[in-house]
Structure 1
Amino acid sequence: MRGVVIALVLGLALLAVGCVATPHYVPPTHTYYLSPDGDDDAAGTSPDTAWRTPARADHVGLVPGDRLLLKGGAHFHGALTVGPREAGDPGRPVVIGSYGTGRATLSSSDAPAVSVRNTGGLEIRGLILRGSGSARKHDPGILLYSDLRNGDRPSGIRIRDVDVAGFRIGVAIGASSHGVGFSEVTVDRTLLHSNKDAGFLSYGPDFKPQAAAYAHRGLTLTDVAAYDNTGDPRAHDRHTGDGIVVGAVRGATLRHVEAHDNGGRAADDAPEGPAGVWAYDSTQVVVEHSAAYRNHTGSSVDGAGFGLDSNVSDSALRRNLAFGNDGPGFYTYQRWENGGHTRNTISDNISADDGRGLPQLGSIAVYGIDLRELAVVRNTVLVSRAPKGPGPALRIQPGEHGVQIRDNLFVTAGAPIVMGDADLKPANVVLQGNAYRAAHGTWQVRWGEHTYDSLASWRAADGQESVEGHPTGLTVDPCLKGGPLPRIRSVADADLATPTCTSLAGEGLALPLPAGAPQPGDADYFGRTPSGGPQVGAVVPR
């Protein structure tokens, strides 16, 4: 649709008596059809006069309200492009989708299947998009790209009920160095799988701490599954095989998304590894009621379930489930000392048997060189012995300022419950009101070069688990529904992490979070509210 919309000029009628308001003119809209049995010389405006190829449709300028429909169940080869003079009205979106029975398949071997540049007001729905050839090496299945220098962001784009596979990236939303991206983009009920580098990616210009651009505004992902995005064994210089990556966004909500079985072919010598769902260079990101499991890394880093990576602020990971990932279930990381990673919260999540490939990273990992004002509260972490050896439930490395780790339940077997570096002091990171349980083997916390075999000895030596001189922390049996150390192998198994006795009931401290950090709310992982005081762990006893 590279054609130019012809401008329409209306004449005004001058009335002899009085005056009336000129009605707002709405250009006529059209529905265009594509069918393998069509004819590119036909009108294209009905199923009986359908065009045959996407190339023919690409020469029509789509005005607000137009629809371009591909025959359901049919297969087309080519690409569709919506340019800056097309669409543009979120109130009257252009629709690209299918008609008849089933979804149409659009295959591309040398370009994105659908490209949208410098415009909004568009709905892409009910399609199967497949990539091959150079498209798998270079192109997203759906690309939204803006190189606008100024002005309003294109807004109102919805991607719904789409299946994207075989490209470098499933869906990509990008902006040039000018930093004017998109606003109010929604991806809903969409499958992003079998792509090379990632299922979903948003990106923009490099982060500048004193003038963060945040190219995009108002991103929403719901009921999106990113899986079997394999990674590239020849990509030795970057991470590949990610599920969902959110970058350069102010205000993003991810709800009921899943990322699983990604990264299986990522390069074994890459300096960075993939992860299931993570954000970078963004602010006000919320990931909730989602799952990340069996995500992999080919190298000695990453492979996590969920992450808040460099330069993320005012964001939250809450009420999510991670299990069976090579790396941590949940992590925070900051590469630069610039104050960009601050006021974040990780709360009411369940991590089970994460760190399968890299147990030394822990199941919840807090590391980097300048993490500020982080709250890790009311999470449940279950760690059995990993195939690669024992790993801690919580791993903390230096570089923190104002980090609070409170009211969590940590359960391990034959491994340190917590591992922290020697120069971590309560002024940097404070642990209070947590429950530490050794389901099997010896109870131990490793702090610096010392290993402690009791909560009291650790408290006395390092000052953790104390509030104004009063001891805090628990080592009681939480009586979990799935036994001393439940094995969670599916999303449905999360209920096994429910305490069935009252040993943790009302034992939480619920102390104030760092100023400005997102509040966790009252509900637990399942949405239940405790009746007997603040909770410990992600699940209220019942």
Structure 2
Amino acid sequence: MSNKILRLLFILIVAVLVSAKPLVVCSAFGNTYYVANNGNDSNPGTLERPLKTLRKVNEIKLKAGDTILFKGGETFDGMLELIVQGSNNKPVVISSYEKGAATINGGNKEAIIIKGSYFQLSNINARGAGRKTGNSTNGVSLIEASYASIENVNTQGFQKSGLDLYDCNSIQVKNVYALENGFSGINIGGSDKKKSRNILVKNCNAENNPGDPTMLENHSGNGILIAHSDSVTIDHCTATNNGWDMPRIGNGPVGIWAYESDHVLIQYCISYRNRTAKGAKDGGGFDLDGGVTNSVIQYCLSYENEGAGYGLFQYAGASLWYNNTVRYCISINDATSTEGSGGIFFWNGSDDSVQLADCIVHNNLVYSTHAPAIEFEPSSKNKNIFLYNNIFIGAEQIVNGPSSGEKFIGNVWWTTGGDIRFRGYKNLFVWADETGQEKWNGQLAGRQIDPLLKGPFTTKLIDPNQLHTLTNYTLQSSSPLINTGLNLKALFENPTASHDFYGTPIPQGINPEPGVFEWKEN
């Protein structure tokens, strides 16, 4: 073959290669695809020649180790809908590049839907048209996803939930800000058979999620909600100003809560100034609701919610509710407007005491100038509910509602001003003699005495990482409570926390202290 023919063949081959649309060059970890408003869908998706539309991105057959990067500060209209299959060492990554976070504008539909496993979604804003102005969906939806992380994501303007996990497994959700959505800021749910499992939600904020205008038969306007799930941890999260526009009267929203779930842990969270519809129920801070089992709320702060600080509820038709704990938590002036609630509130809608059973409420602090510290709704039959080592400070009827299977032992009761009554009895001593409450082995174990906390009692704290600074709820050196609490493990073989609200190991002395503070000698 002549040199001329060879030269012509070489030119033809080069021409074919240049005119082709090759994939992004593959690195050791996979392909990286860049997306920018000045791109073109005919481009290969390199940094110099990015793609342009979500439609084109959705067509990519993603492999383990692939990365999709949207240009920070830019908005991309439409829905990002991906099925991914990464691996443990090579997750698929969806994120932003250059300065700021990119925005996926879903308009009237979802912004992001992801199915699959081993992926990371980070540094992305999801925007909807508004819960009352066209949107009718969730913002970011993970469906049957596993071994994934969602981090530094803002989701706003969706009628349902800002972030929704359904039948997911081993998901970490960190630094998500869910704002101005309808049903819930963050919603974790599942089917009855599969459920969502092994979920961590940490350092997240659910704010001003007012309610779903189309949901007329049930609650909406929740902050963070867990349902039909197993092994979920909510850690260092905040919920505030949710639920104020629920479009119905009836059972309502709560800042952070769970139902029909097992092994839920809610800790180091702040839920404050949450609301409900005018004349409706709930609007509280925290709640372990119908069908919750083997779950704990600890080291949390609730204040100035319209409903109860901590609700322990069982609705008719739910699975059994049992083996739950609330410990080392604080409630300050909750139940501001929801009639019939209190700092800690019990309700059983089933009329069967076995349905609301085996619960320990210990070493909490409740302060209320206007509502009962402890409220039992008229339908509140229960079995084996024990309240130990709590400090209850209130006014007038400090504990209210009918008695059933609960037992108060070793609690401290004091007034915010004026006389306090105990289910109509004029003082602790009469209540104890008439009912046996606050007695152990025939002796009075509770005390009506000033605990001598440092004060003041109100707070404006909004950062869960600063909970340890709430020294106003610690004891003065002259407090009569030092080393006087019940040793729950020794007396009742109850499991106890390893440390107090402030991180001090328990116990420091011969006995722990009532309330949230463990006295430590200097």
Query: Residues 261-340 of structure 1 correspond to what in structure 2 (within 5 A)?
Result: 261-267=241-247, 269-298=248-277, 299-336=279-316, 340=320
Q: Paired residue for 1:383, among 359, 368, 374?
A: 368
Aligned residues of 2:130 and 2:181 also touching (Cα < 8 A):
no
Aligned residues of 1:136 and 1:195 also touching (Cα < 8 A):
no
**381 and 514 in structure 1: CA distance in 2 versus 1, 3 angstrom threshold:** same
Q: Runs of 5+ in structure 2 lacking a partner?
A: 1-26
Query: Residues 218-233 of structure 1 correspond to what in structure 2 (within 5 A)?
Result: 218-233=198-213
**513 and 327 in structure 1: CA distance in 2 versus 1, 3 angstrom threshold:** farther
How far is the alpha carbon of 1:132 from its aligned partner?
0.8
1:193 partnered with 2:171: no
* 1:392 aligned partner: 372
CA distance in 2, matches of 1:373, 1:478: 28
Q: Deviation per CA, 1:310-367, whole angstroms, max 9, x where unpaired?
A: 1110000000000010001101111136762110000000000000112521110122
Q: Deviation per CA, 1:80-112, whole angstroms, max 9, x where unpaired?
A: 1112xx324243211110011111111111322
How far is the alpha carbon of 1:443 from its aligned partner?
2.0
1:420 partnered with 2:401: yes
**339 and 230 in structure 1: CA distance in 2 versus 1, 3 angstrom threshold:** closer
How far is the alpha carbon of 1:217 from its aligned partner?
1.3
Paired amino acid for 1:170: G
Q: May I ask how many residue pairs the two structures share in their alignment? A: 476
* 1:410 aligned partner: 392
1:170 partnered with 2:146: no
CA distance in 2, matches of 1:462, 1:72: 66
**28 and 286 in structure 1: CA distance in 2 versus 1, 3 angstrom threshold:** closer
1:401 partnered with 2:383: yes
* Partner SS, residue 402 of structure 1: strand
Query: Residues 92-111 of structure 1 correspond to what in structure 2 (within 5 A)?
Result: 92-111=90-109
**275 and 136 in structure 1: CA distance in 2 versus 1, 3 angstrom threshold:** farther
* 2:446 aligned partner: 473
* 2:122 aligned partner: 125
CA distance in 2, matches of 1:234, 1:205: 22
**27 and 260 in structure 1: CA distance in 2 versus 1, 3 angstrom threshold:** same
Structure (1 or 2) with the larger CA radius of gyration: 2
Aligned residues of 1:284 and 1:314 also touching (Cα < 8 A):
yes
CA distance in 2, matches of 1:137, 1:288: 33
TM-score (normalizing by structure 1)? 0.84
Bigger shift: residues 335-344 or 497-506: 335-344
Q: Paired residue for 1:138, among 126, 136, 139?
A: 136
CA distance in 2, matches of 1:87, 1:170: 24
* Partner SS, residue 457 of structure 1: helix
Query: Residues 425-504 of structure 1 correspond to what in structure 2 (within 5 A)?
Result: 428-446=405-423, 451-483=424-456, 486-491=457-462, 494-500=470-476, 501-504=478-481
How far is the alpha carbon of 1:375 from its aligned partner?
0.5
**235 and 215 in structure 1: CA distance in 2 versus 1, 3 angstrom threshold:** closer
Paired amino acid for 1:87: Q
* Partner SS, residue 55 of structure 2: helix
How far is the alpha carbon of 1:138 from its aligned partner?
2.2
Paired amino acid for 1:345: T
**520 and 215 in structure 1: CA distance in 2 versus 1, 3 angstrom threshold:** same
* 1:388 aligned partner: none
* 2:149 aligned partner: 158
Aligned residues of 1:375 and 1:514 also touching (Cα < 8 A):
no
Paired amino acid for 1:535: E
CA RMSD after TM alignment? 2.2
* Partner SS, residue 470 of structure 2: helix
Q: Deviation per CA, 1:151-182, whole angstroms, max 9, x where unpaired?
A: xxx421100011111112111011xxxxxx22
How far is the alpha carbon of 1:303 from its aligned partner?
0.6
Aligned residues of 1:34 and 1:53 also touching (Cα < 8 A):
yes
Paired amino acid for 1:68: I
**Percent of matched pairs sharing the same residue:** 28
* 1:62 aligned partner: 62
Aligned residues of 2:453 and 2:479 also touching (Cα < 8 A):
no
